[in-house]
Structure 1
Amino acid sequence: MHTPLVDLLGSKYPIVQTGMGWVAGPSLVSATSNAGAFGIIASATMTYDELARAITTVKGRTQAPFGVNLRADADDIRARLDLLIAEGVPVASFAQAPKKDLIDHLHDHGVKVMPSIGAKRHAEKVMEWGVDAILVQGGEGGGHTGAVPTSLLLPEVVDVVDGRVPVVAAGGYFDGRGLVSALAYGASGVAMGTRFLLTSDSSVPVEVKQAYLGTPVTGTVVTTKIDGAPHRVIRTELVDEMDSASALTAVPKAVANAAKFRSYTGLSWLEMAREGLAMKKRMDLSWAEVIMAGNTPMLTKATLVDGRLDAGILPTGQVVGVIDDLPTAAEVVDRIVAEAGEVLGRLTGGVPARRSPARESD
């Protein structure tokens, strides 16, 4: 299980827990890193002070390395980067790649940069900017996602990178077989969100986790009606209502949710307007879609934090349909590593295939 990704991150295994908003807090991150994988704090849904407390808490619970996921367009991004530098956080990950000046600033202080991308052209661009690793998420992934499946996108990106930096595969991973398949494609490890969300170390309410566990592989949908960008979530009555809503009914609700988000984060309306303008330019959204973007954080919080299944959305990868338990993060990591070892042994002729209980009497 020793790959270039392990050397870069300082973790024991090439397994990354993604920075899921409202989910990847100190409890999950410290448990993941203690298990030998690499935990990432989700800071996009945190205020600056909450992020500072989260970093302190994680450092108090583990000696293992961990990272922080950030929004490159956040109004206080410079202050957040300086916080990571001061606290000695080794890796900064980004849902949207930061510009070269921010990457250079982090590099000047020894912090590695790992953006997430969802298209071959994005990989080409971030390689020009000098990132240290690339997390590539295929269409099976949860939350904001693209249309190209991991099995096609991953080899495309691996070819673009050509071994210059580690590539982390995301979207559809949950076990050791998946890890081995990612390595076979040329990745240096895997990243998982839904699998770590569905652990006992995740702070998501139990009743919400049960809703996830009851979702079949066909129970997710990709919709643009939440915030204007393709978003994979569990299909619920609320999601169906949003999909069929007109701008006349959807936009006022989005404005109300944006107001709630402003109140929660402490951002001023001017700061939110600046972020909205930056989003409009970056993603080529209409103003109605920008306003709709206010839906995402609060609708996600309604379920993942408040446990309100009737009033929120449940971001998830399609992999939710093949997960049926709530182990600890350590148990997840141990299982994956053990199974990957068995699969690699079988492929190289060192270990026989394990027979299923149903065939033991054959």
Structure 2
Amino acid sequence: MTPQLLRTSFTDLVGVRHPVVQTGMGWVSGPRLVTGTANAGGLGILAGATMTVDQLEQAILEVKSRTDQPFGVNLRADAGDAGERCDLLIRHGVKVASFALAPKPELIGRLKDAGVVVMPSIGAARHAVKVAGWGADAVMMQGGEGGGHTGPVPTTLLLPSVLDALHDAGADIPVVAAGGFFDGRGLAAALSYGAAAVGMGTRFLLTRDSTVPQQVKELYLTTDLTGTVVTTKVDGMPHRMLRTPFVEEVEAASALRRFGAAVRRTRRFKQESGMSWLRLARDGRAMRTAQGRTLAQLALAANTPTLLRAALVEGDTGAGILASGQVVGVIDDVPSCEEVVDRIVAGAVEELGRASRCMV
């Protein structure tokens, strides 16, 4: 176990040893992965959005039984039961609330009053300034190299724009950089830009602590740098995933065929999640308001939970989607979370030391 070698505003804020975050990947970031990351000194984040409220509470309790280190939970701010889920975090003393979409100021205030660190994810500098003005304690920005829902701007351009915008607005909050990180060189580069930590998804998916089936991990390991694609055909939003025959089939399918599949998967998701049609409709309306999605895009969005689960939980790569960052093309092993965190931190220290020796 590596002692603290890099102290940043993020490690101070959250109380972790290392400026490394394991992101809240749906169906992947469960108790075992989060615990592995937390015990390694990083911040593990539970993927609460793909769990029912009861499942989320059980997952939180399981993590707490396996580690005394800080961890976080990822939530959907536009979910109809977001308030109930936040109550869980407060009641069980979860350290960090991570949001894929910006929570309203009232929700941020409620969490902060209870001592919970609020960290929304953002994809543009103006969004970082907005949530900072609402009281967010930190932000995670993801560049276009990242997996899952992503934007068009690469990390090397998005990160400095976010940092500059926050500085100009007088918002002194930590920025976690995500999208394209997998080793110590990346952490050193992010810290040199001015970030306070890095967030990684694909790198942690490909660890022994991840519960993703082995045959799926092997598929990731055989993928090269050109093996991912960003498509809007799965759920109506830009989504980076492995380029598989199934994804190519979805890309080529007609709009009517995709809509029919979306309706069938909505019914399946309703059955698996225990959600009522009324709750689904309310969540859909919230998504439409918050994200500006059309009704057709909302229907497509129902694909995501069941398609991700089919591949990442059930191991059916022929009927599921595999969210992935572009770094999949440069990852060739499946270590433990502790090994990942230790070597990234040690590597970053070495690179920062080497860079300092270039000074005259």
TM-score normalised by the shorter chain: which range applies?
over 0.9
4+ long deviations beyond 6 Å: none
The count of aligned residue pairs is: 350
Name the aligned partner's letter for residue 280 of structure 2: M
Counterpart-to-counterpart distance in 2, 1:230 and 1:166: 26
Give matches, 1:339-354, under 5 Å.
339-349=347-357
The residue aligned with 1:177 is: 185
The residue aligned with 1:157 is: 162
2:271 aligned to which of 250, 263, 268? 263
The residue aligned with 2:3 is: none
Name the aligned partner's letter for residue 208 of structure 2: S
1:45 aligns with 2:56: no
Name the aligned partner's letter for residue 324 of structure 2: T
Contact 2:126 2:165 in 1 (8 A): no
1:210 aligns with 2:249: no
Name the aligned partner's letter for residue 340 of structure 1: A
Deviation at 1:123, TM superposition (A): 1.1
Give matches, 1:76-87, under 5 Å.
76-87=81-92
User: Unpaired segments of 5 or more residues in structure 1?
Assistant: 351-362
Contact 1:70 1:93 in 2 (8 A): yes
Contact 2:111 2:118 in 1 (8 A): yes
TM-score (norm 1): 0.95
Helix, strand or coil: the match of 1:222? strand
Counterpart-to-counterpart distance in 1, 2:34 and 2:211: 11
Give matches, 1:65-80, under 5 Å.
65-80=70-85
Deviation at 1:288, TM superposition (A): 1.0
Q: Deviation per CA, 1:280-314, whole angstroms, max 9, x where unpaired?
A: 22222221111000000000000000000100000
Contact 1:242 1:250 in 2 (8 A): yes
Deviation at 1:248, TM superposition (A): 1.2
Deviation at 1:349, TM superposition (A): 2.2
User: Unpaired segments of 5 or more residues in structure 2?
Assistant: 1-5
The residue aligned with 2:111 is: 106
Contact 1:262 1:268 in 2 (8 A): yes
1:23 aligns with 2:21: no
Counterpart-to-counterpart distance in 1, 2:111 and 2:292: 28
Name the aligned partner's letter for residue 180 of structure 1: A
Counterpart-to-counterpart distance in 2, 1:274 and 1:264: 18
Name the aligned partner's letter for residue 97 of structure 1: A
Name the aligned partner's letter for residue 105 of structure 1: R
Counterpart-to-counterpart distance in 2, 1:76 and 1:283: 18
1:9 aligns with 2:19: no
Helix, strand or coil: the match of 1:136? strand
Helix, strand or coil: the match of 2:72? strand
The residue aligned with 1:359 is: none
Counterpart-to-counterpart distance in 2, 1:336 and 1:286: 42
Helix, strand or coil: the match of 1:79? helix
Contact 2:99 2:119 in 1 (8 A): yes
Contact 1:247 1:288 in 2 (8 A): no
1:281 aligns with 2:286: no
The residue aligned with 2:234 is: 226
Counterpart-to-counterpart distance in 2, 1:185 and 1:346: 16
Name the aligned partner's letter for residue 194 of structure 1: T
Counterpart-to-counterpart distance in 2, 1:339 and 1:38: 18
The residue aligned with 2:195 is: 187
Contact 2:259 2:300 in 1 (8 A): yes
The sequence identity of aligned pairs, in percent, is 60
Counterpart-to-counterpart distance in 2, 1:122 and 1:278: 18
Counterpart-to-counterpart distance in 2, 1:285 and 1:64: 38
1:237 aligned to which of 245, 251, 267? 245
Counterpart-to-counterpart distance in 2, 1:136 and 1:288: 28
Deviation at 1:341, TM superposition (A): 1.3
1:313 aligned to which of 310, 321, 325? 321
Coordinate RMSD, CA, aligned:
0.9
